[in-house]
Structure 1
Amino acid sequence: MRVAIIGASGYTGLELIKMLISHPHFEITYIATTEGGVKASALHPSLAGVFEQEVVKADAKEVAQHADLAFLALPHQAAMGFAKELLDLHVKVVDLSADYRLELEAYEKHYCEHLDKEHLSEAVYGLPEIHTAKIKQARLIANPGCYPTASLLAVLPFLPYLKKEAPIFIDAKSGVSGAGKKLSQTSHFVTINENIFAYNPLKHRHEPEIAEKIAQVSGHAYEVNFIPHLLPVSRGMLVSAYLQTTEVLDAKALLESFYQEARFVRVRGNPVDIKSVAGTNFCDIFVTQKGTSLFVSSAIDNLLRGASSQAVVNANLMCGFEESAGIPIIAYVP
Structure 2
Amino acid sequence: MQPWHTELLSELAQQVRVVFLALPHEASAELAPQLIAAGLVVFDLSGAFRLHDAEEHERVYGFRRSGALPQQIPYGLAEWTTLSGTESLIAVPGCYPTVANLALKPVLPLLAGTPVINAVSGVSGAGRKAAAHTSFCEVSLVAYGVASHRHQPEIAQALGRDVIFVPHLGNFKRGILATIHAPLKAGVSMDDVQAAYQQAYTKQPLVRLRQQPPAVNDVVGTAYCDIYPVVAQQHLIVCAAIDNLLKGAAAQAVQLANQYYGLASDTGLTQRGGVV
TM-score by length of 2: 0.91
CA distance in 2, matches of 1:214, 1:105: 19
Partner SS state of residue 80, structure 1: helix
Of 97, 122, 131, 1:175 maps to 122
Q: CA deviation at 1:138?
A: 2.1
Q: Tell me, which stretches of 5 or more residues in structure 2 are unaligned? A: none
Q: CA deviation at 1:330?
A: 3.3
2:111–2:185 Cα contact (<8 Å) kept: yes
2:103–2:240 Cα contact (<8 Å) kept: yes
Q: CA deviation at 1:257?
A: 2.1
Amino acid at match of 1:57: W
Query: What does residue 188 of structure 1 align with?
Result: 135
CA distance in 2, matches of 1:290, 1:234: 32
Partner SS state of residue 55, structure 1: coil
Amino acid at match of 1:276: D
CA distance in 2, matches of 1:173, 1:58: 37
Q: Judging changes above 3 Å, is the alpha-carbon distance between structure 1 residues 153 and 327 closer, same or farther for their aligned structure 2 residues?
A: same
Q: CA deviation at 1:331?
A: 6.6
Query: What does residue 249 of structure 2 align with?
Result: 307
Q: Judging changes above 3 Å, is the alpha-carbon distance between structure 1 residues 87 and 313 closer, same or farther for their aligned structure 2 residues?
A: same
Query: What does residue 99 of structure 1 align with?
Result: 48
Q: Judging changes above 3 Å, is the alpha-carbon distance between structure 1 residues 269 and 318 closer, same or farther for their aligned structure 2 residues?
A: same
CA distance in 1, matches of 2:166, 2:131: 19
Partner SS state of residue 307, structure 1: helix
Partner SS state of residue 90, structure 2: strand
Identity %: 37
Of 24, 48, 58, 1:108 maps to 58
Of 2, 5, 10, 1:61 maps to 10
Equivalences, count: 268
Q: CA deviation at 1:120?
A: 5.2
Q: Judging changes above 3 Å, is the alpha-carbon distance between structure 1 residues 254 and 291 closer, same or farther for their aligned structure 2 residues?
A: farther
Of 52, 69, 72, 1:119 maps to 69
1:135–1:141 Cα contact (<8 Å) kept: no
Q: CA deviation at 1:152?
A: 0.3
Partner SS state of residue 83, structure 1: helix
Q: Judging changes above 3 Å, is the alpha-carbon distance between structure 1 residues 71 and 77 closer, same or farther for their aligned structure 2 residues?
A: same
CA distance in 2, matches of 1:173, 1:61: 43
Of 229, 232, 237, 1:295 maps to 237
Of 167, 174, 180, 1:228 maps to 167
Partner SS state of residue 69, structure 2: helix
Decide which moves more: 303-312 or 251-260.
251-260
CA distance in 2, matches of 1:122, 1:64: 23
Query: What does residue 269 of structure 1 align with?
Result: 211
Partner SS state of residue 65, structure 1: helix
1:142 aligns with 2:97: no
Query: What does residue 38 of structure 1 align with?
Result: none
Query: What does residue 146 of structure 2 align with?
Result: 201
1:282–1:329 Cα contact (<8 Å) kept: no
Partner SS state of residue 262, structure 1: coil
CA distance in 2, matches of 1:62, 1:178: 34
Of 196, 201, 225, 1:283 maps to 225
Query: What does residue 159 of structure 2 align with?
Result: 214
Q: CA deviation at 1:108?
A: 1.1
2:83–2:259 Cα contact (<8 Å) kept: no
Partner SS state of residue 271, structure 1: coil
Q: CA deviation at 1:326?
A: 1.4
